[in-house]
Amino acid sequence: MKVMAFNGSPRKKKWNTVTLLKSALEGAASVGAETEVVPLYGLDFSGCISCFSCKKRSRKADGVCSVQDDLTDVLERVLKADALIIGSPVYYGCESAATRALLERLCFPYLVYAKPPRSLFPRRINTAMIYTMNVPEGMIPDVGYDHVFARTKMTLAMHFGACEVLLSTDTQQYTDYDKYEVELFNKEDKYKRHAEVFPEDCKRAFALGVRMASGKVPDPA
């Protein structure tokens, strides 16, 4: 069992997104899975360039992006993975730029313009999105984040078989809030929530990792 994780945060070694990803992979490893984390901001790659090579009738292989860059080998390894976990902070109401670029390159080559659209990915596997955000949970519908999360969940489920979403909300952004212009937030509330709630988010991520490594892919809803 191989579980691949993708860190879509520019903070590569610590902070919220990568910490939750590490917890998820610890959960997967606890039930015997081999794990790997790919730091997207450590790679030189782009999103889809609209060349449509993956849609040509004369293409040499299905589901292969013709762009050659640091993501090429990563996408080849995806074919051998049994589960995918993508972690991203929410930046201006969407996944980070690197995460969006990954999703384009990961999903579009497998998409068939059929009626209805279908995926060329050869197996059904578990996938998950882990989102971290400064927004409190109660504000998610007000700012439209729920539609963003649902759209990405639908895309991954259609291409790979199943997708689970884990949300970590109202996160701590800075070690020292006094150094930044952040009058909108109460720093003591942020510190308190990080100390009391974020560890629970990590436990939920651990449990998610266990589920991802189970090999049991839920049937489509």
**pLDDT of 132-164, one tens digit each?**
999 999 999 999 999 999 999 999 999 999 999
Q: What is the pLDDT of residue 221?
A: 59
Q: What is the pLDDT of residue 210?
A: 97
23-73 residue pLDDT tens: 999 999 999 999 999 999 999 999 999 999 999 999 888 889 999 999 999
Least confident of 87-96, 137-146, 192-201, 209-218: 209-218
Q: What is the pLDDT of residue 12?
A: 84
Q: Which of 168, 149, 170 is nearest to 99 (CA)?
A: 149
Q: Could you state, in order of their start, the residue ranges of all structural domains in the chain?
A: 2-212
Rg from Cα positions in the chain = 18
List, in sequence order, every residue forming a beta bridge with 132; answer none if it has no partner. Answer: 89, 168
0.85 exceeded by pTM: yes
Other CB atoms within 10 A of residue 157 CB: 18
Which DSSP string do the residues of the chain spell out, in sequence order? -EEEEEE-SS--SSSHHHHHHHHHHHHHHHTT-EEEEEEGGGS---S-----GGG-TT-SSTT-----STHHHHHHHHTT-SEEEEEEEEETTEE-HHHHHHHHHHHGGGEE--SS-EE--SS-EEEEEEEE-SS-GGGHHHHTHHHHHHHHHHHHHHHHEEEEEEEE-S----S-GGGS--TTS-HHHHHHHHHHTHHHHHHHHHHHHHHHTT--PPPP-
C-beta of residue 66 within 8 angstroms of C-beta of residue 53 = yes
The architecture that CATH gives domain 2-212 is 3-Layer(aba) Sandwich (3.40)
| Cα(63)–Cα(157) distance, integer angstroms | 16
Parallel/antiparallel/unpaired status of strands 34-39 and 111-112: unpaired
71-126 residue pLDDT tens: 999 999 999 999 999 999 999 999 999 999 999 999 999 999 989 889 999 999 99
